Amino acid sequence: MIDNKLLQKLSQNLLEILDDDEYCDITIEVGNDPYVKIFRAHMVILNYRSPYLRRILSTNKKRNDETLIQIKLPNISPETFLLNKISYYFINQFLKLFYFRYIYGGMLPLEEYDTFDIIKILVAANELSLRDLVVYLQSFLVKNEAKWIEKNFNLIYRTSFENDSFLKLQKYCTDLIIRDPDKILKSLDFSTIPEKLLILLIQSDNIQMSEVQIWDHVLKWGLAQNPELSSNPSNYSKDDFISLKNTLKQCIPFIRFYNLTSKEFLDKVLPYKKVLPKDLYTDLLETFLNLHPDSKPIAKSKSRNINLKKLKEPNNSEYNSTYKSKPNKKKVGKKALKREYQSEESNNFEYYSSYEESKSNKKKVGKKALKLEYLSEESIISESDSSYEESIIFESDSSYEESKSNKKKI
């Protein structure tokens, strides 16, 4: 059994060697004039503790005289260190106080750094091929800085998926998207998340926000992408509405507008009517104007039933793939039965197909009957190359009928 006290003493002795120049046989030069920093070290320790430096040392032959070997670290640009937010001073401090202390003594003085600096250290450690340190820092962040990660989710999300070495952080981000999408929508940097991530979030069945809150967040995100736009749509020009419409066009199909109350629609959606597809806006207007302000229409919006468990990266093909589910009829008491749907992500506006198909196939139906039919249980349409099948299911006390094949002419 190894006594930790002995290991601590060994670590302390090795750190003393770092501060003693007597047996140093190598100098490491960092930076460019006039910002150059030179460190003295011991080749044998660097060779066995750092794969990154081992590769560099392999190209430098040891001299027979007592002259110190000199190596220069490649000029690591600030861009590689987390969005231009790492400084020359930080690189020097990292190398002296953290990097060499870790290599010599296995010391990790994380208490000296805030969370953002630890993220920088993680990226720098990966650049310098310190695999054990990369794994340890990821575990430390997940275990001790979960709340910070949630508040700064996009920073961690982008950083983790930009490098295949950060698998633990990638898994944490993916699990959070599945488990608590609300936390991401409420994060401090929410407005900077990628569009594809936003769409994945608003499709989640685990989201606990009301539909009007989701719409508010989508609008907030859209306005953040167009900082020149006012928060007051009454001041918008035609071009302003076009800009916002183009920004939100991929998100709007996943907003369940029919889950709003009439008042929410009038207060929150109507001012932005010009960003909605014309047919959708017309149908929403006809639906909500006939309701009590606090009432909701019979549900016409499809369920958020998107499987996020296969999500692995921000631009994952999962987002662009086809989500399919076979019809599955289950008894649900006296509520009308619904069919699961088959939808294709590439067709972003299939969301409105139910309305369009019903409109085109009911030319002779009276206006009153058509309205009643729209207020009935939602028809879910599955499309193939050139045909579709529409099924509306009703349930009585003991049985139900599929009305497509037996539907009487009105």
CA dist 300 and 256 (Å) reads: 8
Whole-number Å distance between alpha carbons of 45 and 59: 17
> Token digits for 145?
């800085």
Q: pTM here?
A: 0.59
pLDDT of residue 129: 82
- Retrieve residue 327's tokens: 């019809």
What is the per-residue pLDDT for 330?
Answer: 38
Q: Are 114 and 144 in contact (CB under 8 A)?
A: no
Instruction: Going from the first residue of the chain to its last (410 residues), give the mean pLDDT of each consecutive group of 10, the final group possibly shorter.
Output: 74 80 80 70 84 80 65 51 43 62 80 85 83 93 94 92 92 92 90 92 90 95 95 95 97 94 94 96 90 72 51 43 36 33 35 41 39 37 36 36 41
Domains observed in the chain: 4-130 (3.30.710.10), 145-207+308-320 (no CATH), 209-303 (no CATH), 323-406 (no CATH)
Q: How many helices (H) and strands (E) does the chain have?
A: 20, 9
Model pLDDT, residue 31? 63
Contacts of 114-121 with C-beta under 8 Å, sequence gap 24+, read: 115/141, 115/145, 115/148, 116/85, 117/90, 118/145, 119/82, 119/155, 119/156, 119/159, 120/81, 120/82, 120/85, 120/86, 120/90, 120/94, 121/94
Residue 388 pairs with which residues in a beta bridge?
A: 383
The DSSP bridge partners found for residue 323 are 343
Cβ-contact 251, 195 below 8 angstroms = yes
Structure-token match 């007592």, residue found: 66
Token pair listed for 343: 């939808």
The predicted structure's pLDDT at residue 73: 66
381 in Cβ contact with 392 (< 8 Å): no
- Dist CA 383 CA 342 (whole Å): 8
Instruction: Compute CA distances 174 → 194, 291, 309, 319, 338, whole Å.
Output: 14, 40, 8, 13, 30
**How far, in Å, CA of 98 to CA of 104, rounded?**
10
Q: What is the pLDDT of residue 65?
A: 57
Neighbours of 273 (CB within 10 A): 15
